[in-house]
Amino acid sequence: MAGGVFFVNFKSDQPAVYLVGVSSFLVVGVFLAILGFAGIAGGVGLGIIGAVLGVGASVLLVEYFASNSDMSLASLFSTRWGWLTVWVMCLVVAVVFTLIMSLAHVRPWTDVSTSRVAWYHQEECEKVDTSGFWLQTLNFWSNFSYLAGGIVITWLSDFRLGKGIGIVLIALSVGSLWFHGTLTEFSQTIDIVGVYAALIVLIGYGFIELIPLDMDGVAAWLIFAGAIILGTIAGFLRTSLKVFDSDYFTPLLVVMLLIYMLMVYLRYRRGAAPLLPPFLAFVGTGILAMVFKFTDGDKNLAAPYGGNYSKCLYAPTSPIQGHALWHILSGLMFVCIFEYIRSVRSATRSVWPWRV
């Protein structure tokens, strides 16, 4: 607490030093990201560190300008729609970075094996293109739906645990971007860890609201930490224990959330909070997301083509890809889940911008 007060006082008492310091972190983050993702030095790990530094510094800068109403940029970072400005900035940076790498003919992922591509096609039909900087297009860029969901929750939540959940979604977007851009085995593990952690954290949040517990109390943060640890363990053991395989564990977690939400709705449906809209939004986006996810590929749960790539429901170069739609819809689903759980007691601010 004392550290937080010092940080706030330093920001208000020494604004010039604060802005220079945070801007320096932004520059360093961008530089490290370029070095890492371009394969110049440090590898992808360095790139991720740089990306985290850059996004973190950007959020701090945006928050500073948004809190100073006399600044001209403040109108772009309003309480209701400032998250959108941050998301657009991140998207623009990613597009510019990708263009630079593509024009420079940087191809760090061309060594992907034929067997790896064949394995990938079991669940995703989109063509693997080794002529570009990233190996995929739609399945890569659609991950910005997770980023948008994470930013909107972080931006609009008025309690720290809510912001922590938003950061988990942002981490999910980074892991999924990494995997679909590179198709490495480790990046796939990080991607699945992100999905599991996000779903389990939301289940934990629902438990906290249902009891209820103090949102920023020790018990709530222990549940939050435990959810992340469980998601990490499940992600790394997914090939060892069948129950943790994404084809089974992901639907299981979604069904658990659905059962929880139905129980809560039956209990609180006569309360003041409007529970039905976020509940229906979650059910709609969740069902559609899973339909698109499991109908993609040539050897999936709802696409049993025995590995025959030519039978894929979605053409390899089609602008419509099932897995990309899964990203977009599940990103929306996460926000709807959060809003539904938050609405149970309405003790905190809505994360639907039009409700703010």
Mean pLDDT of the chain: 83
Q: What is the CATH number of the domain that holds 184?
A: 1.20.1070
224 and 127 together in one domain: yes
Q: Is the domain of 233 the same as that of 262?
A: yes
| 58 lies in the same domain as 192 | no
Same domain, 178 and 203: yes
What is the average per-residue pLDDT within 59-69?
A: 69
What is the rounded distance in angstroms from the CA atom of residue 77 to the CA atom of residue 93?
18
Burial call 203-224: b when 16+ CB within 10 Å, e when fewer: bbbbbbbbeebebeeeebbebb
Beta bridge partners of 300: 303
Rounded mean pLDDT, 249-253: 85
Window from 11-20, 101-110, 235-244, 321-330 with minimum mean pLDDT = 11-20
How many angstroms separate the CA atoms of 80 and 65, rounded? 15
How buried is 261 (Cβ within 10 angstroms: 0-12 exposed, 13-18 middle, 19+ buried)?
buried
Residue 299 pLDDT exceeds 90: no
- Is residue 44 located within the same domain as residue 25? yes
Stretch among 94-103, 175-184, 272-281, 297-306 having the lowest mean pLDDT: 272-281
Q: Which of 119, 117, 123 is nearest to 323 (CA)?
A: 123
- Counting residues of the chain whose pLDDT is more than 90, the rounded percentage is 32
Q: Structural domain of residue 75, as residue ranges?
A: 1-107
| 170 and 95 together in one domain | no
Provide the pLDDT confidence category of residue 7 given band limits of 50, 70 and 90: very low
Inter-residue contact 32 to 47 (CB < 8 Å):
yes
- Maximum pairwise Cα distance, the chain: 65
Whether the pLDDT of residue 235 is over 70: the answer is yes
Number of domains in the chain: 2
Which alpha helices (DSSP H) does 183-304 contain, by range?
Answer: 185-210, 218-236, 246-268, 276-294
Most confident among 121-125, 174-178, 215-219, 296-300 (mean pLDDT): 174-178
